[in-house]
């Protein structure tokens, strides 16, 4: 089979490609912490998740006035690599973190310091000492002083780069995945001057997760549909899948050992391939978990496996597993790397763990777990409440963060909406129902399993004190601590707006509805909203109604619906009013925008947003704006 080349044709020999990696970059001063004193502890046994705890405010990453501050999570580690000077580099969902492992100080880099994206998936060190990263917005290079990014404009097939690796000759290879219309997954090579990219329909176009070079110089690639082998001609590509003996076609990692065998990390165990046979190792043989995200060889030759249940070590005969933390998210291990002294560093869902034969030591930034923030709201006392997709609720009083989870009584840890009753009581909506906080503990009000929808559940409280929630089975009302279906219309309620007269506007997946006098009726919007998903509803200061939909933003003055001149071909996900009466709108991929009654001003990652995918916006009592986006929080102080 032959590979179709899109940008330029690959050479007939992979090993004859010239390696001369150049670095040209520019950036700002990063955030650096002072050394901390954290004595090592003994390896613990995994227990339940922690109760609410307070963490200090992380060092902010700021821009000049008007100032943006980013809150990302540098503790959700996806890959690790040591630099030539002994610095430990962590690729995280909250940017790049450079650790001094001696004194445990760290330097954090985000989009404000020159990164193209805060979503960083892999890191590898070049022979010349530079660091290269796979990000959601291109290949990133750091030469020790400045940053440089390579994108589709330089020759990549897609900006969603999923893997980076150096060949034995020192040249760089990168794998990418589909990133929207006009892009395709594939393989790219950098010769120090230009990029050559290639793809085909036998696996390369589906995106790559891992790249490895065999002792004979051939290239092996791990993807979501199997294992790919590219021979030395650079032209013939073979796909291995479950039909060939693999336990799964989902490949996370590849590693060649000194005996020439290929070890493969899959979502169904680890596989050793000697060129003839496939040998599976899973929980039945000794692995702590069947998902294997990373494999590393220790200086003594033992193999270590990173899994969602901790780490497992194999000496060729016996298997032994270790917990990397006390709580479940600390035992989700994505990356492994060995230091020069032989100690193991494990990158987890809650920081880095250094392990040796006796001790375990944590390396963690001061960041709160905000990478999956879905909603933001301000309490009457001025505190910020953040609902996350997997980490429960975070409360920020301006100095410290406090976290609440299911162990504190929440219905579940995926929080879709937070609203406050007239007496200031917080309510939170989630997949499994709603929860109320009395200042000391949470009480859950679960819904039935058949009432769970496939869109996030909105929540509203009318002035009469009634609590309402939208689900995949219609509109629910809480009566005597039990949810009652008040309308069995075949709809998905995705936004709710409580009005002073105790009526409700209900945004659905098929237009706008209104709950009034015990009935839910379709609103005639003159054809403007009937075929659109209504994601957000907001009353304006002049009495008009704003509706964010799957096809733009609309306003209703009581008689006529009019489309606004912003995000016209985009989904408007959220709306908020500034204290000056301005309107804020968030979009799915287009960033955020502010309307001052005259003009729209748009903000993107170029200005200071964490991401252009916006989930929620809330305005603080001081007039500053907090934005929950994919990857964290942005705080804007005009």
d(CA 203, CA 242): 14
What pLDDT score was predicted for residue 21? 28
4-34: per-residue pLDDT in tens?
Answer: 333 333 333 333 332 322 233 333 344 444 4
276-287 mean pLDDT: 95
Q: Please name which of 336, 250, 335 lies closest in space to residue 298, comparing C-alpha atoms.
A: 336
What pLDDT score was predicted for residue 526? 84
What pLDDT score was predicted for residue 145? 86
133-153: per-residue pLDDT in tens?
Answer: 999 999 999 998 899 999 999
Taking CB atoms within 8 Å and a gap of at least 24, the contacts of 496-502 are 496/458, 496/459, 496/460, 496/468, 496/469, 496/470, 496/537, 497/460, 497/537, 497/538, 497/539, 498/460, 498/461, 498/462, 498/463, 498/468, 499/462, 499/539, 500/463, 502/462, 502/463, 502/464, 502/466
The model's confidence at residue 66, banded by pLDDT at 50, 70 and 90, is low
The model's confidence at residue 167, banded by pLDDT at 50, 70 and 90, is very high
What pLDDT score was predicted for residue 194? 92
d(CA 357, CA 343): 8
130-135 mean pLDDT: 97
Preceding amide of 455 cis, omega within 30: no
The model's confidence at residue 273, banded by pLDDT at 50, 70 and 90, is very high
End-to-end CA, the chain: 58
Taking 90 as the threshold, does the pLDDT of residue 58 lie above it? no
398-444: per-residue pLDDT in tens?
Answer: 999 999 999 999 999 999 999 999 999 999 999 999 999 999 999 99
Taking 60 as the threshold, does the pLDDT of residue 603 lie above it? yes
Domains of the chain, first to last: 30-363 (2.130.10.10), 373-637 (2.130.10.10)
The model's confidence at residue 467, banded by pLDDT at 50, 70 and 90, is very high
Contact in structure between 593 and 585 (CB atoms under 8 Å): yes
Q: DSSP strand E in 185-332: where? A: 186-190, 195-199, 208-213, 219-223, 227-230, 237-240, 251-256, 262-266, 269-273, 278-281, 294-297, 303-307, 310-314, 319-322
d(CA 284, CA 282): 5
What pLDDT score was predicted for residue 424? 95
pTM: 0.84
The model's confidence at residue 489, banded by pLDDT at 50, 70 and 90, is low
Taking 70 as the threshold, does the pLDDT of residue 1 lie above it? no
What pLDDT score was predicted for residue 54? 43
What pLDDT score was predicted for residue 9? 32
Query: Which is more confidently placed, 45 or 627?
Result: 627
Mean of the per-residue pLDDT values of the chain: 87
569-583 mean pLDDT: 94
Phi, psi of 206 (to 5 degrees): -90, -5
* 303-to-274, 279, 297, 316 alpha-carbon distances in Å: 16, 15, 5, 8
d(CA 536, CA 615): 11
Taking 70 as the threshold, does the pLDDT of residue 3 lie above it? no
Q: Please name which of 215, 209, 269 lies closest in space to residue 242, comparing C-alpha atoms.
A: 269
């Amino acid at each position: 089979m032959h590979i179709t080349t899109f940008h330029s044709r690959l050479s007939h020999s992979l090993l004859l490609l010239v390696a001369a990696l150049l670095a040209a970059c520019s950036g700002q001063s990063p955030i650096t912490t002072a050394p901390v004193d954290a004595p090592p502890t003994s390896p613990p046994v995994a227990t339940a998740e922690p109760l609410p705890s307070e963490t200090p405010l992380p060092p902010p990453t700021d821009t000049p006035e008007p100032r943006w501050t980013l809150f990302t999570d540098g503790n959700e580690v996806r890959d690790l690599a040591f630099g030539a000077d002994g610095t430990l580099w962590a690729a995280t969902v909250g940017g790049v973190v450079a650790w001094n492992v001696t004194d445990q100080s760290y330097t954090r880099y985000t989009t404000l310091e020159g990164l193209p994206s805060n979503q960083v998936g892999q890191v590898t060190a070049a022979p010349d000492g530079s660091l290269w990263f796979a990000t959601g917005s291109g290949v990133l290079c750091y030469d020790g002083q400045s940053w440089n990014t390579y994108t589709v404009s330089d020759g990549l097939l897609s900006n969603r780069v999923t893997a980076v690796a150096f060949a034995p000759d020192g040249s760089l290879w990168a794998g990418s995945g589909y990133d929207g219309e006009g892009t395709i997954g594939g393989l790219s090579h950098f010769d120090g001057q230009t990029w050559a990219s290639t793809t085909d329909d036998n696996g390369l176009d589906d995106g790559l997760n891992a790249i490895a070079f065999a002792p004979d110089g051939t290239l092996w690639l791990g993807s979501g549909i199997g294992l790919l082998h590219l021979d030395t001609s650079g032209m013939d590509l073979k796909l291995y899948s479950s039909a060939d003996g693999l336990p799964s076609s989902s490949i996370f990692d590849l590693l060649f050992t000194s005996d020439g065998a290929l070890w493969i990390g899959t979502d169904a165990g680890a596989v050793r391939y000697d060129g003839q046979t496939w040998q599976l190792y899973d929980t039945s043989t000794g692995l702590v978990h069947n998902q294997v995200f990373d494999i590393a060889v220790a200086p003594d030759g033992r193999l270590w496996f990173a899994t969602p249940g901790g780490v497992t070590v194999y000496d060729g005969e016996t298997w032994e597993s270790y917990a990397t933390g006390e709580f479940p998210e600390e035992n989700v291990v994505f990356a492994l790397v060995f230091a020069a002294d032989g100690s193991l560093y494990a990158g987890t869902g809650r920081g880095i763990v250094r392990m040796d034969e006796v001790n375990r030591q944590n390396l963690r930034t001061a960041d709160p777990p905000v990478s999956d923030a879905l909603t933001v709201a301000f309490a009457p006392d001025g505190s910020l409440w953040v609902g996350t997709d997997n980490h429960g609720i975070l409360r920020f009083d301006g100095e410290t963060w406090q976290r609440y989870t299911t162990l504190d009584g929440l219905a579940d840890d995926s929080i879709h909406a937070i609203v406050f009753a007239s007496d200031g009581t917080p309510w939170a909506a989630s997949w499994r129902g709603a929860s109320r906080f009395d200042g000391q503990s949470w009480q859950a009000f679960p819904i039935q399993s058949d009432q769970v929808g496939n869109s996030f559940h909105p929540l509203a409280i009318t002035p009469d004190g009634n609590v309402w929630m939208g689900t995949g089975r219609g509109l629910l009302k809480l009566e005597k601590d039990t949810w009652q279906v008040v309308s069995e219309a075949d709809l998905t309620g995705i936004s709710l707006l409580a009005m002073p007269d105790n009526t409700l506007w209900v945004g659905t997946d098929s237009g706008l509805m209104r709950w009034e006098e015990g009935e839910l009726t379709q609103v005639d919007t003159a054809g403007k909203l009937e075929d659109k998903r209504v994601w957000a509803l907001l009353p304006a200061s002049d009495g008009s109604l704003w509706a964010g939909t799957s096809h733009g933003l609309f306003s209703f003055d009581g008689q006529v619906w009019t489309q606004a001149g912003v995000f016209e071909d985009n989904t408007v996900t959220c709306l908020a009013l500034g204290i000056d009466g301005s309107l804020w709108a968030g979009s799915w991929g287009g960033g955020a925008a502010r309307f001052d009654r005259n003009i729209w001003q748009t903000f993107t990652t170029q200005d200071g947003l964490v991401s252009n995918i916006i989930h929620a916006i809330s305005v603080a009592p001081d007039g500053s704006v907090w934005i929950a986006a994919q990857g964290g929080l942005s705080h804007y102080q005009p």
